[in-house]
Structures are given as C-alpha cells and as structure tokens.
A and B are shown apart, each in its own frame.
Chain A
Amino acid sequence: NAGVTQTPKFRVLKTGQSMTLLCAQDMNHEYMYWYRQDPGMGLRLIHYSVGEGTTAKGEVPDGYNVSRLKKQNFLLGLESAAPSQTSVYFCASSYRFHGYTFGSGTRLTVV
C-alpha cells in the first residue's frame, strides 16, 4: 500500500556533484514520470517512460538522464548539478490515462 515512494526526501549538493533520485511504485503502472516544481513556474515534465526499458524527453530534459530497467523503478540522474536545478522533484506513475499517483517529493538544493 506504499503507492509511489521517492528517495531521498531532502538533499544538498555542491555545484558539479552528481546524484540519483529513485522512484519506486508498487501499483504495476506502465507509465512513470519525473516533474520539477519551481515557484511561479508550476510543475514541468522532465522525462517520462511508457514501459520498462523505454524513456522519453519531456519539456525540460536538459541536464538530466533517466533509466527504467525495472517496471517498478524510475531513476532520475543529475550528472553535474547546477544551481538552476534547485527545485522540488516529483515522481508519478499511472496507467495511460488514469490512476495518476504522485510521490511526496524530493527537495534538492544545489549550492
């Protein structure tokens, strides 16, 4: 009954460091998404996946990479963090047009 779990919940990075955000879902959803939420900008889609082994770019993909090696997991990587990537990151999963479920978010600060 966990739904969508994101780890970590908080992280502070120095400019140039790398990290991976993990998203795990237990609802057997085919579709998974990574969004970022910034003040005054709303939520914007970074990358998404329509099934195991597939990934696609969203609205703001630059500086991020993703992988979906297992159906239940969707990883978001930052290879060289920049202050502009300071944001709250949300993972979500769904069936194609229903069942959307969001995680509780990861608050990332890049200094």
Chain B
Amino acid sequence: KQEVTQIPAALSVPEGENLVLNCSFTDSAIYNLQWFRQDPGKGLTSLLLIQSSQREQTSGRLNASLDKSSGRSTLYIAASQPGDSATYLCAVGGSQGNLIFGKGTKLSVKP
C-alpha cells in the first residue's frame, strides 16, 4: 500500500527565507506527483504537477523535484512571503488517476 509522508509537519520561518518542504513515498511505481496549497477552510489549489518521466517543474518562486528511485520529492520556495502561509500537500498519482496524499506541512511565514 502506497504511503506518503511529509516532513516537517509544521514550519515557521521569517519573511525572505528560502525553504524546502519534503515528501517521501513508499512505492516508486507512481504516475505523477503533485504539490497543492490549501488555505484554512478552503479547497486545494494545484501548484506543480510532475509526470513520472520528469525530474522537476518550476513556477515562479516554486520549484519541485522528483526522484522516483529514492521515493522523494522536494518543494523549494524562494524568498518566502507572508502570503505563502498555508498548508502544502504532496500527492502521488495512482493508475486510475487517483491521488494518495500526505498529511501536509503547515507553513507560517512571519513578516
């Protein structure tokens, strides 16, 4: 059974710092890996999607990498801002398009 783990569970940083969120998964037979953002009381917003044949994706200040063989992904956020405060969820894609989620990292960026 695929299991997805996110470390740390919570992170507090001062504004302007570069930071890394970690995601690991137990079964390397994934179809894709996706990072989402969730604000309190809201739905999920897709940030980056990495297909299984890709190694990384970038969008603005965000960069996500994927290493299938080691079962790891990282989300790098450059020059963090208070508006980045949210919970970040990692999810791996199964054969039916379904996503298996980690429990998230709650990020707080202090002004």
Contacts and interface: CB of A to CB of B under 8 A. Distances in A.
B32 A98 contact: yes
A43 B101 contact: yes
B42 A31 contact: no
B85 to A, nearest CB: 19
Interface in A24-75: 31, 33, 35, 40-45, 48, 50, 56, 58
Given A42-B103, A97-B32, A102 B97 contact: no
Given A48-B98, A97-B93, A102-B44, A40 B103 contact: yes
Contacts of A85: none
B76 interface: no
Interface string B35-63: 01000001111100101000000000000
Contacts of B93: 97
Most chain A beta-carbon contacts within 10 A, residue among B32, B44, B49, B100: B44
Interface of A: 31, 33, 35, 40-45, 48, 50, 56, 58, 90, 92, 94-98, 100-105
